[in-house]
Amino acid sequence: MNDLLKIEISGPVVMGIAIAVDAGLFLVLFLRPSARWVVTGVVGITVAALVGWLTVWLVEDVWDVFHVGLTPRVWFWAITGFAAVGLCVVSFRHSPRWRKLVAAISIPVFLLVAALGINTEFGLNKTLGSALGISTEDAIQLSKPNPDATIPSGPLWQNWQPPANMPAKGEAGTQVIPATESGFTARPAGIYLPPAALTANPPRLPLYVLLMGQPGLPDPQYVSAALDDFAARNNGLAPIAIVADQIGPDENDTLCLDTAKYGNVEKYINVDVVNWAKANLNILPDRDHWTIAGYSNGGQCAISFAVKYPQMWGNVVDISGEEYPGAEDPAGNLRDIFNGNQAAYDAQKPINIMKGRQFPDTTAVFTVGSDDVTYVAAAKAVSAAARESGMSVTYYEVPNGGHVGIALNAGLTKGFEVLYPRLGLSR
């Protein structure tokens, strides 16, 4: 079963095969056309395409289901999927039996190909398991850290000599991080160990805690791919990464706060995850080498934690993050979480927390897709406040990144470009 869930459902090969099958079935439905059938088919395609356009418009502009703008390619896949199904529907009327059979087979195929196309455009679910919200990562084996290990006096890149048998790539897997203090129900965390951590005498390494979006999985595949690239250029050195779960199995927007409704999420990340990391990972102990990072929902969590716990987090990476907790539904959160207390809600907003405070030794990276209109505004506002509060700020817009996988991957890369020297992993 796990092998089935690991099947790749995105990428050029998969999409090439899917489109070929899609086009083949579409053409078969037009075999031996009469003038009447051509007119019928065109009418079915046109009407269904219009229904598809209306549906996408309602989803994006009226109901705002995804809270982000949909790219032209998402529109294309949705509308063509509707159009193809429209051809199938009219194929059941006044047609030979073989055409009805092909139409019945084609409907699920057309819908599947449209779904694959949309998923590929979002770029966040690479496997069947991730699309279904099921983790396919195996548990990773950890070696207990040596508390007596010497902490180098200078940057790691100057003090570390990799052994000849060091693996070329790191390892990724999962670990259950107990909610000892918080009681929060979290899914297993993703863990990434870089090549240097897999050697017989590994150095202590920086800690990088990443929080993904909502909905989503605490999946280490994105950060591990990015860090493997950086490690390959820097003698196997990279942070040890934890992809922690801040939304839980029900994939709620918990606001990354301790609340009666969703549980003690803030305490889980900043107490339970941190204590587990200290006890189980060979990490450097000081804040200058610790990073809290996040994407989308997780980006807001990251900047919130960075300004609430500056003694812990010396670095923050906010990738396409919201401006404040629950920004997608402020009225509902004000009512349900804060019992109508606007002052209490405002006190949890990072921009307000930063007012009148200084964070002179915090490095902050803010990235966002250049065409991700809502989140560009949020990134500009929060990064400006961070700069005013004394943080060393990098602001970067991913060209045409949207709010999808392109923005996530480019944001991770930009963050590591900025942080590697700060973390002592490169010049």
Cα–Cα distance measured from residue 313 to residue 224, given in angstroms and rounded to the nearest whole number: 21
Least confident stretch, 62-76, 176-190, 346-360, 368-382: 62-76
pLDDT greater than 80 at residue 319:
yes
Please state, rounded to an integer, the average pLDDT across all residues of the chain. 91
DSSP state of 205: B
Residue-level pLDDT at 72: 85
Could you state, in order of their start, the residue ranges of all structural domains in the chain? 2-122, 137-422
pLDDT greater than 60 at residue 4:
yes
* CA dihedral for 66, 71, 76, 77, sign (positive or negative): negative
Q: What is the DSSP string of 111-170?
A: HHHHHHHHHHHHT---BHHHHTT---PPBPP-PPP-TTPPPPSS-HHHH----TT--SS-
Residue-level pLDDT at 68: 67
Residue-level pLDDT at 95: 84
Tens-place pLDDT, residues 144-181: 887 767 777 889 999 999 999 999 999 999 999 999 99
Burial environment of residue 321 by CB neighbours within 10 A (0 to 12, 13 to 18, 19 or more): buried
Mean pLDDT across the stretch 379-408?
A: 96
> In this structure, are residues 68 and 403 in contact, taking their beta carbons and an 8 Å threshold?
yes
Helix (H, G, I), strand (E, B) or coil at 248: coil
pLDDT greater than 60 at residue 1:
no
- Categorize the per-residue pLDDT at 22 as very low, low, confident or very high, splitting at 50, 70 and 90: confident
CATH architecture label of 137-422: 3-Layer(aba) Sandwich (3.40)
Residue-level pLDDT at 14: 75
> In this structure, are residues 402 and 369 in contact, taking their beta carbons and an 8 Å threshold?
yes
The pTM for the full model equals: 0.86
How many beta carbons lie within 10 A of that of residue 360, not counting itself? 9
pLDDT greater than 70 at residue 258:
yes
Helix (H, G, I), strand (E, B) or coil at 323: coil
